Amino acid sequence: MPPETKPGRVLLVGAGPGAADLMTVRALRAVQGAQALLYDALISEEVLALAPAACLKIQTGKRAGRASMRQETINRLMLRLARRGLTVVRLKGGDPSVFGRVGEEQAFLHAHGIETEVVPGVTAASAAAAQFGFPLTHRGEARRVVLSTARLEAGALQTDWSAAADPQATLAIYMGGAEAAELSRRLIAAGRPARTPVAVVERASCPDARLTRTTLAGLGAAPVGEGPVLIVVGEAAGRAQAAGFDTTAAAFQVSRTARIEA
């Protein structure tokens, strides 16, 4: 009788906001050592190319508003591959603990006796702030940061409106492009002034990133493209750099093709 296969382990890895050079060293090593790679739709080809040629690569989808593999299917797939003794990397955009369902996946795997490791990544809010020259917190303007999602559940926006209305908070709303007009209405109704600065960032960290500067009153009319969209609301967002800003002097290098619109 052949010896029983020792279970592998699953690494739940944050790939960062898109650019491969924003991955952590630990995330890079995880991808380079993967025997099976389950990756989300927003993972770039540049990042996928870092995996070994013999690595089994499976695209799981998980992009807002589009068809994707069900979470239960992803869980079972990770379990099946780990039980075959493979080192499995579940690769997610941004940070896996920020709207990445890492808690659900980790709990499922632990319940079935599979060892896991979480590797954090740069989240989109941090990447957008670095790329376009504005802080998430700023003395006298923003004392706290609220990370929220604009996903709809049962027809209603799932947002803590009391926290979002705090004038000392920078509100970073993920996956909010399609709900921009409703977000504007709700935030103003919750007490945020209509003149509050807003930065709408599409494809944060990528060479073709786009920044649109507006106000809460004008958010509903702001242009929103096809890429992943982050909406940043608060006084600190008003510091987003104008079109003449030299992006090469920012916290990381980025192509001059990045667009900024007022």
Which residues are identified as catalytic? Answer: 40, 62, 175
Tokens found for residue 227? 């890429």
Tokens found for residue 257? 């093709």
Q: What gap in Å lies between CA 97 and CA 252, rounded to an integer?
A: 23
CB 219 within 8 A of CB 248: no
Q: DSSP states of 140-168 as a string?
A: TTBSEEEEEE--EETTEE---HHHHT-TT
- Helical H segments across 95-217, by residue range: 102-111, 124-131, 161-164, 180-189
What is the strand order of the sheet 88-92 is part of? 56-61, 36-40, 88-92, 9-14, 115-119
Nearest to 199 by CA among 151, 257, 130, 247: 130
Nearest to 77 by CA among 117, 108, 42: 108
